[in-house]
């Protein structure tokens, strides 16, 4: 299987989660072996999607270079990874990605519309060879060897509308579109009010997040999936782990994982080359992966 990029340029307009201002995002093809690169048109700054460029993981994954940052990249990266795209330029005119509807569905629609094209170079795959785990008390994230890509995530909230949820996701592009891409980010009304009093989360609304008061979900349309909360955690994890630099074959497991723990996991995996092996895809493995990205 060969590397993939998009066929043409495509643009969309959305609202920034924190500033609440319109942001234009444009996707453009890149040459073989270029990777995923963000470009801020307002500062003429290129930032590669790599762990060493991550500067903050408090509320989202934030990358930066030369003092200029881009926030909330995980939803865009999640869709790009799910579609098997290896080389892409992501241009925007602000310091954050547009939140769209709080999921990655809008970015998937952009990729569906523009289409993908095979390039000349063979696709690179990371094979996880050893178990790598990062813990913070009861919270953990882990990658371990597996014959295919799988994500197992659990969360446990005291809030009655969430509670304990667990989801097992066997990765493929089609499964992602059906089971993960529409899962929205979520937050609590009391936290939203506090953030907005500090001029943060100004773009957050019922149009781009699941919002909960002390007992209930206040979105009139309810949930898109019964366990939408844990599915969104997997959406985030796929985006965060895409910073490994290539698609991986292995099992990701987490309980109450976060952007911070995912970032630490990518650093821990890449720290020791005995943890993984990078292979070019050809032969039988190529046929197997073609089905994943069909």
Is 103 in the same domain as 129? no
Is 90 in the same domain as 150? no
Supply the pTM of this predicted model.
0.95
Is 76 in the same domain as 154? no
pLDDT digits (tens, 9 = 90+) for 58-68: 989 999 999 99
Stretch 182-188: mean pLDDT = 96
Is 169 in the same domain as 256? yes
Whichever domain contains 19, its CATH number is 3.30.230.20
Is 68 in the same domain as 21? yes
Contacts 24+ apart (CB under 8 A), 43-48: 43/68
Is 211 in the same domain as 132? yes
Q: Which of the four pLDDT bands, split at 50, 70 and 90, describes residue 192?
A: confident
Is 176 in the same domain as 40? no
CA distance linking residue 214 with residue 191, whole number of Å: 11
Task: State the residue range of the domain holding 58.
Answer: 2-121
How many structural domains compose the chain? 2
Annotated catalytic residue within 75, 232, 259, 263: 259
Is 274 in the same domain as 136? yes
Q: Which of the four pLDDT bands, split at 50, 70 and 90, describes residue 202?
A: confident
pLDDT digits (tens, 9 = 90+) for 208-225: 999 999 999 999 999 999
Which residue, 88, 121, 154, sits at the end of a domain?
Answer: 121
Whichever domain contains 278, its CATH number is 3.30.1700.10
Q: Which of the four pLDDT bands, split at 50, 70 and 90, describes residue 1?
A: confident
Annotated catalytic residue 259: yes
Q: Are 83 and 173 in contact (CB under 8 A)?
A: yes
CA distance linking residue 132 with residue 84, whole number of Å: 24
């Amino acid at each position: 299987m060969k590397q993939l990029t998009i066929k043409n340029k495509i643009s969309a307009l959305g609202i920034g989660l924190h500033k609440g201002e319109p942001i234009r995002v444009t996707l453009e093809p890149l040459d073989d072996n270029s990777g995923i690169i963000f470009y801020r048109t307002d500062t003429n700054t290129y930032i590669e999607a790599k762990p060493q460029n991550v500067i903050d993981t408090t509320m989202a994954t934030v990358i930066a270079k030369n003092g200029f940052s881009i926030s909330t990249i995980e939803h865009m990266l999640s869709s790009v990874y799910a579609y098997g795209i290896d080389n892409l330029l992501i241009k925007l005119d602000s310091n954050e990605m547009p939140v769209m509807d709080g999921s990655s569905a809008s970015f998937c629609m952009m990729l569906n519309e523009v289409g993908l094209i095979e390039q000349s170079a063979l696709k690179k795959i990371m094979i996880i060879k050893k178990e790598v785990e990062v813990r913070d008390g009861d919270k953990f994230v882990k990658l371990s060897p597996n014959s295919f890509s799988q994500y197992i995530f659990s969360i446990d909230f005291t809030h009655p509308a969430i509670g304990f949820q667990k989801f097992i996701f066997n990765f493929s592009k089609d499964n992602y579109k059906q089971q993960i891409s529409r899962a929205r980010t979520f937050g609590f009304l009391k936290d939203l009010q506090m953030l907005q009093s500090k001029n943060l989360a100004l773009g957050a609304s019922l149009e781009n997040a699941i919002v909960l008061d002390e007992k209930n979900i206040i979105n009139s349309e309810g949930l898109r999936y019964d366990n939408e909360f844990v599915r969104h955690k997997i959406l985030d994890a796929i985006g965060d782990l895409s910073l490994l630099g290539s698609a991986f074959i292995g099992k990701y497991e987490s309980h109450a994982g976060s952007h911070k723990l995912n970032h630490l996991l990518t650093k821990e995996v890449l720290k020791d080359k005995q943890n993984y092996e990078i292979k070019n895809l050809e032969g039988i493995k190529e046929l197997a992966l073609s089905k994943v990205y069909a």
